[in-house]
A and B are shown apart, each in its own frame.
Chain A
Amino acid sequence: MSDLTTLTLSEARDGLAAGDFTSEELTTAYLRALETIRPLNAFVTETPERAVEMAKTSDARRAAGQAGVLEGLPVAIKDLFCTRGVQTTAGSRILDGFVPPYEATVTANMWAEGAIMLGKTNMDEFAMGSSNVTSCHGPVENPWRINGDNRSLAPGGSSGGSAASVAARAALAATGTDTGGSIRQPAAFCGIVGMKPTYGRCSRWGIVAFASSLDQAGPMARTVRDSAIMLQAMAGHDPKDSTSVPRDVPDYEAALTGDLRSLRIGIPEEYRMDGMPTEIEALWRQGIDWLKAEGAEVVDISLPHTKYALPTYYIVAPAEASSNLARYDGVRFGLRNGADGGDLTEMYEETRGFGFGQEVRRRVLIGTYVLSAGYYDAYYLKAQRVRSLIARDFSDAFETVDAILTPTTPSAAFPLGDKMDDPIAMYLNDVFTVPASLAGLPAISVPAGLDKNGLPLGLHLITNAFEEEMLFRVSGVLENAAAFATTPQTVA
Chain B
Amino acid sequence: MALDTDAVRQIAHLARVRVPEADLEVLAGELSNILTWVEQLNDVATEDVPAMTSAVAVSLPMREDKVNEGDHEDAILANAPDRVRDFFAVPKVVD
Contact = CB atoms under 8 A, between A and B. Distances in A.
A342 B92 contact: yes
A394 B50 CA distance: 16
Contacts of B76: 101, 332
A386 B37 contact: no
A484 interface: no
A207 B44 CA distance: 34
A386 B42 CA distance: 10
A353 B11 contact: no
Interface residues of B, number: 52
Contacts of A99: 78-79
B41 A386 contact: yes
Interface string A315-342: 1000000100010011111111011011
Contact of B8 (A214, A339, A365): A365
B34 interface: yes
Interface stretch (A71-79, A218-226, A366-374, A445-453): A366-374
Contact of B90 (A101, A344, A349, A368): A344
A368 B34 contact: no
B51 A385 contact: yes
Contacts of A338: 18
Given A354-B18, A366-B35, A384 B53 contact: yes
Interface string A101-132: 11000000000000000000000000000000
A303 B73 CA distance: 51
A362 B31 contact: yes
Interface residues of A, number: 71
A385 B91 contact: no
Nearest to B62: A242
Interface stretch (A18-26, A257-265, A304-312, A403-411): A304-312
Interface in A434-492: 438-440, 465
Given A308-B41, A361-B19, A362-B30, A368 B11 contact: yes
Determine which residue in B19, B40, B55 has the highest number of CB atoms from chain A within 10 A of its CB, and name it: B55
A347 B90 contact: yes
Given A369-B35, A372-B14, 15 more contacts: A99-B78, A99-B79, A239-B63, A243-B56, A332-B79, A332-B80, A342-B92, A352-B17, A368-B15, A382-B42, A383-B38, A388-B49, A389-B49, A423-B30, A423-B34
